[in-house]
């Protein structure tokens, strides 16, 4: 394959940037101080709405110059908000101009690249560079901080409802609201924000109505367009044009449409409101936990609150309350949460295989150890061994050698443990002898497995969270025999999104196509640069022939975010979730365009100049 000159130039520019930071790397404190200087006089009520407006425009980042310096805009904008609140400001100036914004984004990029330098060019004077450890640590660091977990609102709502409802008495005692209040509040905020956006864009989307309105104004004697701005019909339009982030600024009266008692609404807002006293006068580092993600509501005045979309609210509710329940109820909550994850995985596969599969949960085959297997599915000669894990990686350290040991330890307790559990059943089947499996609780015989009836065998590991490159390319950390195949490892939300899309577009052949994916996907381990399994799934669904061709090659393969566009496109056209939000309206909407063809350029070191 020949390399596209544009791709080559982009890689060369990135390499030059990296080498520049390597040679003239500044301390984090120096860069942060420069950011503070730019923020010092900026007004909160103009700057923060502007930042939120930019966060909401991330989907257009490829075409907007305002994003050109940012590699991880969501995390970088959230970091900018935390930085703003960590210092006192004179607040004499409005949002930064174009030149100041460009400088801000350059500094945010320098912050991120500074970490790349600290980890990627780590020097411990040991005489042993230990590149394998540094590579794992570097990727894990950026996967942890730069990539959020993609899940649709329906999936977060499912987790909130199934995990929290049983503990409503505890939640209400702590916070003064219950599970269904969380869901109603977050969805209602989305509706309010959407209605406000519709009002702001109404005349842009309906130009014929604009002609009618302006004709009415002229007939009333309002000939000067300056007089139109004060007319109530155009209040939202002119506020949108003159006040950055106006759509996301809600007043207390805007919340009256939420069908909840005032006290509950007040408690929900109190839970999410940003409290800057905890970080004021502290140096905020990029690898600190983002306070904005925990408390995403910002009070601009006594009557105005800056609201992100409901997705941020749902995730903040889930993450913080889940942590609190784990603290208060300990094993009772974590064990229940694990059971709910297993239940969710079972539902996903039942939806794919319908009534045509034999499904077994919580069983064992060795009467001596009675070691539990989570899930197995026997479908028309294909046997799936599925292990399910809910665990979280701890925040990576900047020292890559110490970080590697921590990452490997977490990996062993999660994905490696799941693989070992899959492998013991695999090995039993590969012995070729018939054996029985038994219910874990009752020891009742469930099924006799006859290996000669099994034509295909796959091991699948499902996690609650996604872990980036060390999950998509298992070669770096998974311990296995050289001749053994790799399992497929994916987080539960990505699994559900992939299979729902597969069912929607491939219908009756979805099961066969799924097995095809498992067959070819295994070949990519040991030569894949990818932090999101949905990019691989999307490539397969949009370019199956290319996917299969790449599976047979030996070169390193790098995916990109455009490969997962297919899932957003089908979601906004109706994906098939139970209780899907606005599904009737979605089904009337034309399917969005999404990338369908991808070029893979094989680049060697000879293509670049050091």
- In this structure, are residues 472 and 415 in contact, taking their beta carbons and an 8 Å threshold? no
Which residues pair with residue 528 across a beta bridge?
557
Query: Quick one: tokens of 344?
Result: 């969710």
pLDDT in tens, 402-456: 888 888 999 999 999 999 999 999 999 999 999 999 999 999 999 999 999 999 9
pLDDT in tens, 588-607: 999 999 999 887 755 555 55
How crowded is residue 495: how many other Cβ atoms within 10 Å of its Cβ? 22
Question: Is the pLDDT score of 147 beyond 70?
Answer: no
- In this structure, are residues 119 and 371 in contact, taking their beta carbons and an 8 Å threshold? no
- In this structure, are residues 182 and 317 in contact, taking their beta carbons and an 8 Å threshold? yes
Query: Quick one: tokens of 81?
Result: 């908000």
- Which pLDDT score, from 0 to 100, does residue 288 have? 86
- Which pLDDT score, from 0 to 100, does residue 212 have? 84
Cα separation, 515 vs 474, in Å, equals: 19
Please choose, from the candidates 507, 493, 477, 505, the residue with its C-alpha nearest in 3D space to the C-alpha of residue 569: 505
pTM over 0.75: yes
| pLDDT: which is higher, 338 or 138 | 338
Cα separation, 395 vs 533, in Å, equals: 21
- In this structure, are residues 140 and 468 in contact, taking their beta carbons and an 8 Å threshold? yes
Cα separation, 514 vs 349, in Å, equals: 11
Question: Is the pLDDT score of 477 beyond 80?
Answer: yes
pLDDT in tens, 348-373: 999 999 988 999 999 999 999 999 99
pLDDT in tens, 399-408: 878 888 888 9
Half-sphere CA count of 589, side-chain side, radius 13 A: 15
């Amino acid at each position: 394959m020949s390399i596209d000159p544009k791709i080559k130039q982009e890689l060369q520019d990135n390499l030059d940037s990296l080498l520049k930071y390597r040679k003239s790397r500044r301390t984090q404190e120096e860069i942060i101080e420069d950011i503070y200087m730019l923020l010092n006089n900026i007004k909160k009520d103009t700057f923060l709405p502007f930042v939120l407006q930019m966060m909401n425009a991330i989907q257009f980042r490829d075409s907007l110059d305002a994003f050109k310096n940012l590699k991880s805009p969501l995390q970088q904008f959230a970091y900018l908000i935390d930085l703003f609140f960590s210092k006192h400001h004179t607040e004499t100036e409005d949002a930064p101009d174009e030149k100041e914004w460009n400088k801000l984004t350059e500094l945010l990029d320098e912050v991120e690249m500074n970490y790349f330098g600290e980890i990627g060019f780590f020097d411990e004077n040991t005489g042993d560079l230990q590149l394998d450890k540094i590579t794992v640590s570097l990727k894990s660091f950026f996967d942890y901080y730069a990539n959020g977990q993609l899940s649709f609102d329906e999936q977060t709502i499912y987790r909130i409802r199934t995990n929290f409802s049983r503990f409503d008495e505890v939640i209400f005692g702590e916070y003064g609201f219950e599970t269904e209040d969380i869901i109603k509040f977050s969805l209602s905020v989305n509706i309010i924000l959407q209605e406000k956006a519709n009002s702001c864009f109404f005349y842009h989307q309906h130009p014929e109505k604009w002609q009618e309105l302006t004709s009415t104004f002229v007939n009333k004697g309002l000939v000067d367009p300056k007089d139109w701005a004060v007319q109530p019909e155009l209040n939202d339009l002119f506020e949108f044009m003159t006040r950055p982030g106006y759509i996301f600024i809600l007043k207390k009266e805007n919340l009256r449409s939420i069908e909840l008692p005032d006290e509950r609404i007040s408690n929900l807002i109190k839970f999410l409101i940003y409290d800057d006293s905890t970080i004021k006068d502290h140096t905020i580092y990029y690898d600190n936990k983002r306070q904005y993600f925990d408390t995403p509501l910002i009070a601009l005045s006594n009557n105005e609150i800056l609201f992100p979309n409901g997705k941020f609210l749902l995730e903040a509710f889930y993450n913080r309350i889940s942590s609190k329940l784990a603290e208060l109820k300990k094993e009772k909550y974590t064990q229940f949460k694990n059971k709910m994850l297993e239940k969710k995985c079972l539902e996903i596969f039942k939806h794919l295989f319908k009534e045509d599969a034999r499904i077994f949960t919580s069983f064992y085959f060795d009467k001596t150890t009675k070691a539990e297997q989570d899930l197995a599915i026997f479908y028309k000669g294909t046997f799936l061994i599925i292990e399910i894990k809910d665990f979280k990686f701890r925040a990576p350290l900047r020292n890559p050698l110490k970080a590697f040991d921590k990452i490997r330890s977490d990996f062993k307790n999660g994905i490696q443990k799941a693989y070992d559990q899959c492998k013991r059943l695999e090995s039993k089947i590969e012995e070729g002898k018939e054996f029985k499996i038994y219910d874990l609780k009752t020891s009742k015989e469930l099924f006799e497995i006859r290996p000669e009836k099994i034509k295909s065998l796959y091991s699948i590991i499902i996690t609650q969270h996604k872990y980036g490159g060390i999950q998509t390319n298992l070669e770096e950390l998974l311990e296995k025999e050289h001749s053994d195949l790799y399992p497929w490892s994916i987080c539960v939300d990505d699994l559900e999104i992939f299979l729902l899309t597969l069912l929607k577009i491939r219908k009756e052949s979805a099961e066969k196509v799924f097995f095809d994916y498992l067959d070819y996907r295994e070949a990519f381990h040991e030569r894949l640069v990818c932090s999101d399994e949905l990019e691989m799934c999307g490539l397969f669904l949009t370019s199956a022939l290319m996917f299969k061709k790449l599976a047979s090659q030996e070169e390193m393969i790098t995916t990109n975010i455009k490969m997962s566009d297919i899932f957003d496109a089908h979601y906004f056209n109706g994906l098939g979730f139970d209780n899907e939000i606005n599904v009737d309206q979605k089904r009337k909407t034309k399917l969005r365009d999404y990338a369908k063809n991808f070029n893979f350029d094989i680049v060697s070191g000879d293509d670049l100049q050091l």
